Structure 1
Amino acid sequence: MSKNVRALAARCLYAVVDNGRSLSEELPKQQQLIESGKDKGLLQELCYGVLRYLPELEQHVRRFVKKPLTGKQRVFHFLMMVGIYQIKFTRIPDHAAVAETVAATAILKNKHLKGMVNAVLRSYQREPELENPESLPDPVRFNHPGWFINKIKAGYPEQWQQILQQNLERPPMWLRVNQQKTSVEDYLNLLAEQDIAVKQVAEFSQAILLEQAVDVTKLPNFAEGWVSVQDGAAQMAAPLLQAQTNDNVLDCCAAPGGKTCHILELCPEINAMTAIDVEQSRLVRVEENLARLGLQAKVIAGDAANPESWFDGNLFDRILLDAPCSGTGVIRKNPDIKWLRRATDIDALVILQQQIMNSIWQLLKPGGTMIYATCSILPEENKQQIAKFLASTADAQLESITVAGESDDWQILPGENSMDGFYYAKLSKKC
């Protein structure tokens, strides 16, 4: 099989957009067909880029293709978007982008479409701009599905355009130092020795933001567990939980284990650490992360909504509930979320979150603390969810979160202090 990167990108995009596959699952399958690290990176850039700007790129294709492609020809619709994306958004020379994209038609086994693909890309080169961008439908203008735009407008009437724009940006790279191995100060010195520039260190969590993303193999002592990659917003969870010596701690919906590990890094003297996730396959990542970092936890495949199947009767002092959510705060990192999620998914997620929260609350000791967290920015999954829980749970009270001047709960929006969108609420159980 030829390793034409554009052909692989078109196949990957077709699988995600038309067949509903996850980009995190489909992209590695296509990357396995490539040996060159540079080409693997290009394939990722093309897939992520097209998914970021999908409606805009489709609008360009529709300008020049009067009859939509269907059936087995549908993959060529994505191939043309791959070509236009290269011309519009990358530094690849136009002639190379066109030539390689046209050559992909042979790999995709439909040479008679070669002329059409070539003609569309040449036409785009001659007429690169859409007419009257301001008059375009919102999904095309802002490169998000209409239902999502409407929700963001309703939830954030003053900030909705800024949120949508941030979702189109590339995510920065944040590091979490394993303070059982080294100090943040010493690790900053190691980064400086490797000429890896640091943009900032978060005051509350000590998360390190790099100037530019680097391959993890270039991070000093990464394989030895000195450091992990984790967004700055996600690194707020463990400090907010404030696990103490001799605590019995639960990380609920824990995979891939970043927060589990962070809790242990900050307080290795806790009595017991339990990490559960409903999917056994996802717990492999939790075990791998624990092993690399030299940490230990009890890892259980279990349904958080039905704890009777795994709970041993010992109540927890502290619980981190990183609830299943829409992922609408991490679209920068996972642009396929925009096209895989549906408006109807949100209602189902809200019900699931309620079920899990009500079940897990029963496992918390009186006087204990639970952090409710999501990587969502939708109010119904966050502020509204907590308001309902407090109204229906007599022994629950909301504790203030005073990080960065916040109080009560804390909604972080995409791009705020260079972080992902994230939500935190700190609940205590009355004695």
Structure 2
Amino acid sequence: MKINRPLLDELLTSLEEVFFDGKYADKVIESCLKHNADWSLSERRFFAETLYGVLRWERLLVFIAGNDSLARVIGTQWLRTGHDLPDWEEFDGLSYDFVRRKEKEASGDFAIRQSIPDWIDELGRKELGGDSWEKAVIAMNQPGELYLRVNSLKATPDDVIAALATKEIVAEKVSSDVPYALKVKDRKDLFRTDAFRNGMFEVQDAGSQMVVPLLDVQPGQRVIDACAGSGGKSLHIASYLQNKGRLISMDIKDWKLHELKLRARRAGATNIETRVIESSKTIKRLKEQADRVLLDVPCTGLGVLRRNPDAKWRLHAEDVEQINKEQYQILTSYSAMTKKGGLMVYSTCSILPSENEQQIAKFLKEKNGDWSLVKEIHLRPDVEGYDGFYAALLKRN
């Protein structure tokens, strides 16, 4: 790939939006690629890979580069990935030998070498132990596989495999644990395929696809997805309902629910009702109304850093306590929407026990027999190879 000045300028602008304006990397990339619609597929891929590479390795890159100049950091990342640099002033003094030498200097400091903030490293070691934490971090610094979830309202896995093959996109089944998951080997432009436009699949990590099946959703039931966001798990629930019954997808952000509606239309899910959570009254009106409740609660995201490397720079130490409080508040108040005899799943995309099993243990103790733990799943990026997730299936007695 020949490096050019306009590409560097776009990367500088995009990284500033992530680091300084707090924008999400995936949205920044989406906006930039839309603005540069004339870029070739290789240019689009190179841009996205560079941006994610810088976000993933920013601390190490700054150490190697000697300062936090974004242009110099980008140049360092290009050298680390085998790309020759143009003879530009921003890259003075950078060379393959220089980068290799500085990388060796960083090898003795795990947090610098693996490019994570010291406070996150300390937190992970405290909660998981040094060896377990280090294995997880190393795994999360590897680019993630691309997984699809086949929409059973419109297709079978074989249908999607065949449809993508006509566009020379190779997809394969993953395992019986995730029967509707496909792994895509060649990251071509999936979103321009008829299969995507027709709602035959969604992009969703295989680990994430293991959460909704715990609910044992049956057609005709009333289900609530109380932290729905833009609807990845709501659409998964809808596929089990088969457009029979009712799914109420809730969130505090209206714009996310608007995106969910668009995705539901494409997916052919006709029984989804969206509700903005404006106050506690929104929850109280649904007391004991649901056969199944999903609480995919806000979390630190310290299980999906390979997918969202910008999260580690956005998160601050003082945020963690507030996140834990919010999780428990949601668990204790939103659980009231579950009917007696109904099922509820509490899930996060974190691998920290304080966000996961410790919250459930506290909840069960407080409820004193009103709820029972049926099953837990812990997914780790260094074990299963998927993103890190936790889910607990609870039954209301």
TM-score, with normalisation over the residues of structure 1? 0.83
| Match of residue 81, structure 1, among 65, 73, 77 | 73
Task: Quote the residue 2:273 is aligned against.
Answer: 298
Distance 1:217 1:142, change over 3 A: closer
**Structure 2: distance between partners of 1:223 and 1:239:** 25
| Per-residue Cα deviation, 1:220-253 (whole angstroms, up to 9, x for no partner) | 6221111111111111122111112331100111
Distance 1:3 1:307 in 2: 54
Match of 1:146 in 2: 118
Following TM superposition, by how much is the alpha carbon of 1:134 offset from its aligned partner in structure 2, in angstroms?
A: 6.2
**1:168 is matched with which residue: 141, 155, 161?**
141
SS of residue paired to 1:424: strand
The two structures, once aligned, show a CA RMSD in angstroms of 2.4
CA distance in 2, matches of 1:180, 1:29: 30
> What is the distance in 2 between the residues matched to 1:290 and 1:417?
30
Contact in 2 for aligned 1:80/1:120 (Cα 8 Å): no
Contact conserved, 1:197 with 1:211, CA < 8 A, in 2? yes
**AA aligned opposite 2:9:** A
Q: Residues 185-224 of structure 1: matches in 2 within 5 Å?
A: 185-192=158-165, 194-206=167-179, 207-217=181-191, 219=193, 221-224=195-198
CA-CA distance at 1:217 after TM superposition: 3.6
The C-alpha deviation readout for 1:79-99, integer Å capped at 9, x for no partner, is 101011111114x3x1xx334
CA contact (8 A) 1:3 1:33 kept: no
Cα-to-partner distance string for 1:239-283 (whole Å, 9 max, x where unaligned): 111112331100111121111111111222542110001100111
1:136 deviation in Å?
3.9
Q: Could you tell me how far apart the structure 1 residues matched to 2:233 and 2:299 are?
A: 16
Aligned counterpart, 1:111: none
Gapped regions of structure 2 (runs ≥ 5): none
Counterpart Cα distance in 1 of 2:5 and 2:284: 47
**Conservation of the 8 A alpha-carbon contact between 2:374 and 2:394:** yes
Cross-structure match for 1:16: 18
Residue in structure 1 matched with residue 293 of structure 2 by the alignment: 319
Say if 2:36 is the partner of 1:34.
yes
1:399 aligns with 2:391: no
Whether the aligned pair in 1 keeps the contact of 2:296 and 2:348 (CA below 8 Å) is yes
List aligned pairs for 1:27-426, cutoff 5 A.
27-35=29-37, 36-38=39-41, 39-62=43-66, 77-90=69-82, 92=83, 94=84, 97-99=85-87, 102=88, 114=89, 117-122=90-95, 125-126=97-98, 128-130=100-102, 132-133=104-105, 136-157=108-129, 158-192=131-165, 194-206=167-179, 207-217=181-191, 219=193, 221-268=195-242, 270-296=244-270, 297-303=272-278, 306-308=280-282, 311-312=285-286, 315-394=289-368, 395-400=370-375, 409-426=376-393
Work out whether residues 214 and 345 of structure 2, in 8 Å CA contact, stay in contact via their aligned partners in 1. Answer: yes
CA distance in 2, matches of 1:156, 1:313: 37
CA contact (8 A) 1:61 1:120 kept: no
The separation in 2 between residues aligned to 1:355 and 1:314, in whole angstroms, is 17
What is the percent sequence identity of the aligned residues? 28
**Structure 2 CA distance for aligned equivalents of residues 134 and 59 of structure 1:** 8
Return the offset for 1:20.
3.4
Question: What do the CA deviations read for 1:10-39 (whole angstroms, capped 9, x no partner)?
Answer: 222233224433323433444444231433
The aligned length equals: 388
Structure-2 change in CA distance of 1:344 and 1:278 (3 Å): same
SS of 1:98's partner is coil
Aligned residue for 1:231, secondary structure, equals: coil
Measured in 1, the distance between the counterparts of 2:285 and 2:178 equals 31
SS state of the match for residue 183, structure 2? strand
Aligned partner of residue 130 in structure 1, secondary structure: helix
The amino acid across from 1:89 in the alignment is: T
CA spacing shift, 1:129–1:364, aligned 2, 3 Å: same
Report the alpha carbon displacement of residue 352 of structure 1 after superposing the two structures with TM: 0.3
Q: Please give the alpha-carbon distance, in whole angstroms, between the structure 2 residues aligned to 1:307 and 1:419.
A: 37
Cα displacement (A) at 1:219: 4.9
Give structure 1 stretches of 5+ with no counterpart.
63-67, 69-73, 103-113, 401-408
**Residues 148 and 343 in structure 1, CA contact (< 8 A), matched pair in contact too:** yes
Q: Which residue of structure 1 aligns with residue 6 of structure 2?
A: 4
- What amino acid is aligned across from residue 363 of structure 2 in structure 1? F
TM norm structure 2: 0.90
Residue 195 of structure 1: CA displacement? 4.4
Deviation at 1:179, TM superposition (A): 1.5
Change (3 A) 1:310 1:292: farther
Deviates more, 1:49-58 or 1:198-207: 198-207
**Counterpart-to-counterpart distance in 1, 2:361 and 2:287:** 28
Query: Structure 1 132/189 Cα, relative in aligned 2: closer, same or farther at 3 Å?
Result: closer
**Cα displacement (A) at 1:373:** 0.7
Q: Supply the AA of the counterpart residue of 1:413.
A: R
